[in-house]
């Protein structure tokens, strides 16, 4: 029995379900949790949706967002992790219990659940759910369609990541037919940045560095405080940096509490940063990956930039060898 069939059967039989995702949740994580959660509630399942870091204000327009809590309560007969490639990234939301189901689209997924439905070819976990919810006989109402289409928009940066394909556009069209308003959702997801996020960007932009086809910058905790930015992420700054011309890889270092640094890579021109992120304890996609490291900002930068330079050099060496053949 394949994973998709197993997941459908597990969710169909479960009565009390816990759904979690990764720390510092992005749009696809939030939309996946909510989309699956509301679909299960619509067939009379008891559902708790938990994210350790809660939901940022930028996602407050999403249907059902007020149901997401930071801690779970009670017992469950099914535990589901969505949009997460590594069990450590749920931030302890499951305790020591192995999840029953993992639904994801990251190529570096470690298959940590009892049953793992992982589709690296999908642009978003929301796209995986948009494909399978009807096949599992769970309804996609207008609010759920809005959530799943929003998740696709967030993770594909408006249908323009390198893994976009015609099937995703068909899924998007189906979700529109179910009541999702694409122009409105696109605008809310990508065209209305927070004032504080723009202030936060300034600190990263003023420190932007370049060496050959690699660029990098940093965001310190002090920067976040001065900008009054409420999140723990980069406010999508690296998506902006990745658009700079004549650059192959951008790296953003985001300082966290307790000597922790979040690293975010974006890549172009066929360079795969997911394997590099895996060597630093996390993962992601070939063109967009991340990791968390312990250490000072300066020490982490030295290690990561050295490894990233090496990755770029090896990429062009391989291209040169292929052309030679």
State the Cα–Cα distance between residues 125 and 179, nearest whole angstrom: 20
Q: What pLDDT was estimated at residue 325?
A: 60
Are residues 154 and 205 both part of a single domain? no
Question: Cα(first)–Cα(last) distance of the chain, in Å?
Answer: 43
State the Cα–Cα distance between residues 165 and 120, nearest whole angstrom: 13
Are residues 11 and 142 both part of a single domain? yes
pLDDT band at 1 (very low <50, low <70, confident <90, very high): confident
Place of tokens 């304890």: 281
Are residues 182 and 205 both part of a single domain? no
Among candidate residues 190, 222, 248, the one where a domain is terminated: 190
Whether 283 and 104 have beta carbons less than 8 Å apart is answered as no
Are residues 63 and 155 both part of a single domain? yes
Which domain does 320 fall in, by range?
195-324
State the Cα–Cα distance between residues 120 and 201, nearest whole angstrom: 30
Which CATH number do you get for residue 279? 3.10.310.30
In this prediction the pTM is: 0.90
Among candidate residues 190, 223, 248, the one where a domain is terminated: 190
Are residues 62 and 186 both part of a single domain? yes
Q: In this predicted model, what pLDDT tens digit does every residue of 247-286 receive, in sequence order?
A: 999 999 999 998 899 999 999 988 999 999 999 988 888 9
Are residues 165 and 213 both part of a single domain? no
Name the percent of the chain lying above pLDDT 70.
100
Whether 151 and 125 have beta carbons less than 8 Å apart is answered as yes
Are residues 30 and 145 both part of a single domain? yes
Among candidate residues 161, 190, 219, the one where a domain is terminated: 190
Q: In this predicted model, what pLDDT tens digit does every residue of 107-135 receive, in sequence order?
A: 999 999 999 999 999 999 999 999 999 99
Are residues 49 and 11 both part of a single domain? yes
Q: In this predicted model, what pLDDT tens digit does every residue of 43-91 receive, in sequence order?
A: 999 999 999 999 988 899 999 999 999 999 999 999 999 999 999 999 8
Whether 115 and 101 have beta carbons less than 8 Å apart is answered as yes
The residues near 99 (Cβ < 8 Å, ≥ 6 apart) are 20, 79, 80, 81, 87, 112, 113, 114
Are residues 103 and 137 both part of a single domain? yes
Which CATH number do you get for residue 108? 3.90.1640.10
Q: At what angle do helices 125-132 and 166-177 cross, to 10 degrees?
A: 60
The alpha helices in the chain, defined as continuous H runs, are: 3-13, 27-41, 125-132, 142-155, 166-177, 182-190, 195-206, 221-227, 237-241, 274-279, 297-324
Q: What pLDDT was estimated at residue 282?
A: 85
Count the domains in the chain. Answer: 2
């Amino acid at each position: 029995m394949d994973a998709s069939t197993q997941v459908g059967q597990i969710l169909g039989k479960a009565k009390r379900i816990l759904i979690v995702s990764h720390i510092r949740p992005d749009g696809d994580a939030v939309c996946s949790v909510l989309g699956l959660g509301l679909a299960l509630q619509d067939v009379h399942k008891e559902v708790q949706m938990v994210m350790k870091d809660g939901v940022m204000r930028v996602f407050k327009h999403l249907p059902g967002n007020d149901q997401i809590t930071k801690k779970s309560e009670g017992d469950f007969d099914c535990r589901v992790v969505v949009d997460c490639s590594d069990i450590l990234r749920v931030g302890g939301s499951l305790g020591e219990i192995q999840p029953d189901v993992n639904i994801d689209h990251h190529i570096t997924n470690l298959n940590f659940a009892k049953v793992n439905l992982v589709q690296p070819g999908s642009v978003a976990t929301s796209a995986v759910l948009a494909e399978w919810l009807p096949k599992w006989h769970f309804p996609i109402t207008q609010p759920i369609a809005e959530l799943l289409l929003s998740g696709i928009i967030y993770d594909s940066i408006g249908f323009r990541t390198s893994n976009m394909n015609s099937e995703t556009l068909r899924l998007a069209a189906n979700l529109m037919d179910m009541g999702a308003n694409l122009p409105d959702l696109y605008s809310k997801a990508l065209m209305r940045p927070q004032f504080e996020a723009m202030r936060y960007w300034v600190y990263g932009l003023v420190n932007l560095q370049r060496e050959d086809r690699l660029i990098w910058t940093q965001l310190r905790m002090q920067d976040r405080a001065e900008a009054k930015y409420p999140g723990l992420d980069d406010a999508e700054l690296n998506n902006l940096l990745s658009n700079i011309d004549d650059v192959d890889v951008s790296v953003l270092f985001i300082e966290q509490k307790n000597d922790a640094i979040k690293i975010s890579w974006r890549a172009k021109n066929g360079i795969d940063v997911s394997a590099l992120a895996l060597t630093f304890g996390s993962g992601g996609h070939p063109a967009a990956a991340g990791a968390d490291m312990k250490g000072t900002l300066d020490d982490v930068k030295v290690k990561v930039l050295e490894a990233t330079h090496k990755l770029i050099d090896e990429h062009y060496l391989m291209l040169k060898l292929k052309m030679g053949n």
